[in-house]
């Protein structure tokens, strides 16, 4: 079994890679930092006796997304799971955020998932089964204060997920939007002294929920997986 995970070296991506490796999946992973990728590759292969193929990629750049897809197809004939996890958060308001913020967030949070999915579907579709996860956010559902273009990009990603779900229904491919609220990752490092650890979810919580959704029978799909800290949004 094979799983593709973008943005796999940190946060939810890293936790998800760990879960699928634990369950015996070979992995194809990408991230921007080559050193982090190599360290992760060696760690997971040693711990779980699986194969990890890795390629440094900036998913905001279409050419690098497509190169990652071609690398996967050169190594594998099948893709069982695709987790479009890579994303970036830039806080701000629409009327004051810097020029180019919307473009940067759309390229990373939306276009990367769109291009990688399209590039890998020729491998996935002939199988008549598979599971695609798109890492959305509670910001896909509500306009969070200070969310600005981030919320716009995540609303768009949820729209992509809905369209893809309809298209893949008769083809046996399950499609799930994952919509987590505040989750501990490097993005929250500056707040660690101001927030108790229990106020945010763990990245492993989201990863285990993704695994749970994957484990359902082929007759069932979780279309939208919404998760929040027990005390609600920040």
Domain ranges of the chain: 2-227
**Mean per-residue pLDDT, 21-29:** 98
Burial class of 196 by CB neighbour count within 10 A (0 to 12, 13 to 18, 19+): exposed
**Mean per-residue pLDDT, 49-55:** 97
187 — pLDDT class (breaks 50, 70, 90): low
Supply the pLDDT for residue 188.
67
197 — pLDDT class (breaks 50, 70, 90): confident
- Which residues carry out catalysis? 150
**Mean per-residue pLDDT, 217-229:** 96
- CATH H-level superfamily of 2-227: NAD(P)-binding Rossmann-like Domain (3.40.50.720)
Specify whether the backbone of 105 is left (phi greater than 0), alpha (psi in -120 to 50) or beta: alpha
Supply the pLDDT for residue 191.
65
Please answer whether residues 140 and 158 qualify as being in contact, where contact means their C-beta atoms are separated by less than 8 angstroms: yes
pTM of the entire predicted model: 0.94
Mean pLDDT of the chain: 94
Supply the pLDDT for residue 195.
77
pLDDT at 79 over 70: yes
> How far apart are alpha carbons 79 and 71 in whole angstroms?
13
> How far apart are alpha carbons 88 and 230 in whole angstroms?
24
């Amino acid at each position: 079994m094979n799983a593709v995970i973008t943005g796999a070296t940190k946060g939810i991506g890293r936790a998800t890679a760990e879960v699928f490796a634990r369950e015996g999946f070979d992995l194809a992973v990408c991230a921007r930092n080559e050193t982090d990728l190599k360290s992760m590759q060696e760690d997971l292969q040693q711990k779980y006796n699986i194969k990890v193929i890795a390629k440094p990629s900036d998913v905001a750049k279409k050419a690098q997304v497509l190169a990652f897809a071609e690398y996967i197809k050169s190594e594998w004939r099948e893709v069982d799971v695709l987790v479009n996890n890579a994303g970036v958060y830039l806080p701000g308001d629409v009327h004051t955020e810097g020029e180019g913020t919307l473009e940067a967030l759309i390229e990373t949070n939306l276009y990367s998932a769109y291009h990688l999915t399209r590039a890998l579907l020729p491998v996935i579709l002939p199988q008549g089964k598979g599971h695609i996860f798109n890492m959305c956010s509670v910001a896909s559902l509500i306009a969070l204060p200070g969310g600005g273009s981030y919320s716009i990009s995540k609303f768009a990603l949820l729209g992509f997920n809905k369209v893809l779900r309809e298209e893949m229904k008769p083809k046996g491919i399950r499609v799930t939007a994952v919509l987590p609220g505040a989750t501990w990752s490097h993005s929250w490092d500056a707040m660690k002294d101001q927030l108790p650890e229990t106020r945010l979810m763990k990245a492993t919580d989201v990863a285990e929920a993704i695994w749970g959704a994957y484990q359902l029978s082929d007759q069932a799909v979780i279309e939208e997986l919404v998760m929040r800290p027990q005390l609600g949004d920040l």
